[in-house]
Amino acid sequence: MALNRDFIGRAYSSPAPYEVSRLKIKEFAAAIGDSNPIYRDSEAAKAAGHPDVVAPPTFPIVFALAGAGEGLNDPEFGLDWSMVVHGEQRFTYERPIYAGDQLLCTSTISEIRSVGRNEFVTVRGDVTTVDGEPVCTSFNVIVERGGAK
């Protein structure tokens, strides 16, 4: 079943601020196998000129889709998660993410297109601090296999 195009342009906000912790950054760095001390040792991060430990570039995936879930999971949208694969991902960064950041994400279903039998959904996530400072933007393309038939 085709996805409901009425959802294009709908925006969803993260339910609560995401608080970035040193431990979560350390856990994420360990999971991707990256031993860079800047991800786990605040003294090493400070020596490199950062205020605290830095998050790896792909870290925003941990929270960037939290708000969009409300829209993507809406039965009216018609998405069959068992057929979903990740098609593309891009991040643009205004600044690095640091331990201690309190982040909000507004997710917008920006595009839905059919390519062959598949549906492509682009979700844009605008990440800011709770004070409104822009931090990064996530562009996530998910593919529903067979969804366009």
Partner 1 sequence: MGATIKWDEVEQGQELPAAEYQVQRVNLVMYAGASGDFNPIHWNERFAKSVGLPDVIAHGMYTMAQGGRYVTDWAGDPAAVVDYGVRFSSMVVVPDDDNGATISVSGIIEEKLPDKRVIVVLTARSGDSRVLSKARAVVQLV
Residues 50-69 that bind partner 1 (CB under 8 A): 50, 54-58, 61-62
Q: Does the protein bind partner 1 through residue 48 (CB under 8 A)?
A: yes
CA-closest candidate to residue 122, choices 18, 3, 1, 42: 3
CA-closest candidate to residue 96, choices 68, 129, 63, 131: 129
- Nearest to partner 1 of 17, 87 (CB atom): 87
Pair of tokens at residue 112 = 């839905």
Q: Does the protein bind partner 1 through residue 49 (CB under 8 A)?
A: yes
- Nearest to partner 1 of 55, 104 (CB atom): 55
Q: Does the protein bind partner 1 through residue 30 (CB under 8 A)?
A: yes
Contact residue for partner 1 among 14, 18, 20, 39 (CB under 8 A) = 39
- Near partner 1 by CB under 8 A, which window of 10-18, 26-34, 102-110, 122-130? 26-34
Q: Does the protein bind partner 1 through residue 2 (CB under 8 A)?
A: no
Nearest distance from C-beta of residue 99 to partner 1, angstroms: 13
Long-range contacts of 17-20 (CB under 8 A, 24+ apart): 17/102, 17/103, 17/104, 17/130, 18/62, 18/63, 18/66, 18/102, 18/103, 18/104, 18/105, 19/100, 19/101, 19/102, 19/103, 20/55, 20/97, 20/98, 20/99, 20/100, 20/101, 20/102, 20/103
Residue ranges in contact with partner 1 by CB under 8 A: 24, 27-28, 30-34, 36, 38-39, 48-50, 54-58, 61-62, 82, 85-93, 95-96, 139
